[in-house]
């Protein structure tokens, strides 16, 4: 993604907050469409609706569709696809606050990958931020060792793959077009949906009713009740993801990243108003800790001179 020499903090923060507001609302509809169709049919259907809109963005001159380095772009798309499959599967099984908390383990994983795999030095401030964020995640997820459920780890697995995709994006896809990255992601998600749909339609299995059968459900021919929610997801995702990428193009990344955490407010608040998903005091405090950790990481990154290690 080419760097933009004219930084516009106000525009960047506005774009990111708008994107997070959209995502916070539309991700709540997954629990509604999970009553009717499965995860794989959802991703295939949504991709088919999103692709014409992405092509339209390219025709409007907002970016080319062909990647400059296909290999890294494909790898990034596969990693994001895995992240989104885990995340959306969790949305059908738990409140959105818990799903988002699991997904937002990604900054923690980025630091662990940087330290353990890339052998980068991690200073005390970032270690402190990770501990604060991890405490917040435990407050929101509230895992119970006596009644452990692997479903709790679904969004955390999404956070792991999202972290890998973030590292690949920063290191190998910096010069790519916004539209090219978006198109590759949509195509990969659509292909994954098609493969999963074929597998779970051919394999004999008794899919559970309602959201519990979201992951293992095959083709549902009578999908009319879910069409409106799929369309809302497709339109909202296209513009929200585009605004997210654009925000990073017109603003300082360490500054913009802090505003991503606003989705931890928009998502749970809308779920509480529209779906009656309530949050306890400990979970609200956990959301605050996650936001503080993200702000601290962004503040440290923004106050380190170029070429100096972040501590």
| Segment 19-69, tens digit of pLDDT | 999 999 999 999 889 989 999 999 999 999 999 999 998 998 888 899 999
Which tokens sit at 260? 């991503």
Spacing of C-alpha 162 from chain mean position: 7
| Residue 89 reports pLDDT greater than 80 | yes
Q: Is 69 among the domain residues? A: yes
Sort residue 172 into left (φ over 0), alpha (ψ -120 to 50) or beta: alpha
Q: Is 47 among the domain residues? A: yes
Closest to 64 measured CA to CA, from 109, 13, 1: 1
Confidence of residue 2 (pLDDT cuts 50, 70, 90): very low
The CA distance from 2 to 80, in Å, is 20
Which tokens sit at 134? 């991890």
- Output 156 or 245, whichever has higher pLDDT: 156
Closest to 180 measured CA to CA, from 80, 65, 50: 65
Q: Is 296 among the domain residues? A: no
What pLDDT sits at residue 1? 41
What pLDDT sits at residue 72? 93
Confidence of residue 207 (pLDDT cuts 50, 70, 90): low
Closest to 296 measured CA to CA, from 112, 129, 114, 136: 129
Confidence of residue 103 (pLDDT cuts 50, 70, 90): confident
The CA distance from 297 to 311, in Å, is 10
Across 26-35, 128-137, 268-277, least confident range: 128-137
The mean per-residue pLDDT over the stretch 148-166 comes to: 84
The mean per-residue pLDDT over the stretch 281-303 comes to: 74
Q: Give rounded-to-5 percent helix, strand, coil for the chain.
A: 75, 0, 25
DSSP 66: S
Q: Is 44 among the domain residues? A: yes
Q: Is 133 among the domain residues? A: no
Q: Is 244 among the domain residues? A: yes
Stated pTM of the model: 0.83
The number of domains in the chain is 1
The mean per-residue pLDDT over the stretch 74-103 comes to: 91
pLDDT tens-digit readout, 167-192? 888 778 878 888 999 999 999 999 99
The parent domain of residue 220 ranges over: 9-106+151-277
Long-range contacts of 106-111 (CB under 8 A, 24+ apart): 106/159, 106/160, 106/162, 106/163, 106/166, 107/133, 107/163, 107/293, 107/294, 107/297, 108/133, 108/134, 108/137, 108/159, 108/163, 109/159, 109/160, 109/162, 109/163, 109/164, 110/163, 110/166, 110/167
Q: Is 230 among the domain residues? A: yes
pLDDT tens-digit readout, 52-66? 999 998 998 888 899
Rg of the chain over CA atoms, in angstroms?
A: 19
The CA distance from 17 to 243, in Å, is 9
Q: Dihedral, CA atoms, 50, 52, 54, 56, nearest 10 degrees? A: -150
Q: From residue 278, how far is each of 162, 246, 305 by CA, in Å?
A: 27, 33, 43
| Residue 216 reports pLDDT greater than 70 | yes
- Output 84 or 152, whichever has higher pLDDT: 84
Q: Is 13 among the domain residues? A: yes
Name the average pLDDT for the chain: 83
């Amino acid at each position: 993604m080419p760097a933009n020499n004219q930084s516009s903090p106000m525009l960047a923060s506005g774009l990111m907050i708008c994107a997070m507001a959209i995502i916070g609302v539309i991700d709540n509809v997954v629990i509604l469409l999970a009553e009717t169709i499965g995860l794989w049919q959802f991703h295939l259907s949504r991709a088919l609706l999103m692709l014409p809109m992405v092509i339209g963005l390219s025709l409007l001159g907002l970016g080319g569709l062909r990647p400059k380095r296909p290999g890294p772009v494909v790898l990034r798309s596969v990693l994001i696809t895995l992240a989104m499959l885990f995340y959306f599967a969790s949305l059908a099984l738990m409140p959105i606050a818990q799903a988002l908390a699991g997904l937002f383990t990604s900054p923690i994983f980025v630091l662990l990958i940087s330290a353990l795999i890339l052998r980068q030095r991690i200073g005390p401030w970032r270690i402190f931020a990770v501990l604060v964020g991890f405490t917040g995640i435990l407050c929101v997820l509230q895992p119970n060792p006596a009644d452990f459920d692997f479903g709790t780890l679904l969004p955390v697995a999404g956070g792991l793959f999202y972290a890998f995709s973030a590292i690949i994006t920063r290191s190998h896809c910096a010069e790519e077009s916004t539209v090219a990255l978006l198109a590759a992601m949509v195509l990969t998600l659509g292909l994954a949906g098609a493969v999963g749909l074929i597998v779970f339609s051919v394999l004999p299995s008794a899919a559970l009713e309602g959201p519990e059968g979201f992951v293992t459900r095959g083709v549902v021919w009578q999908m009319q009740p879910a069409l409106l929610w799929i369309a809302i997801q497709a339109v909202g995702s296209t513009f929200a993801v585009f605004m997210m990428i654009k925000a990073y193009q017109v603003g300082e990344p360490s500054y913009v990243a802090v505003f991503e955490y606003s989705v931890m407010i928009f998502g749970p608040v809308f779920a509480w108003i529209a779906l009656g998903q309530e949050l306890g005091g400990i979970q609200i405090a956990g959301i605050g800790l996650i936001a503080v950790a993200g702000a601290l990481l962004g503040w440290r990154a923004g106050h380190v001179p170029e070429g100096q290690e972040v501590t």
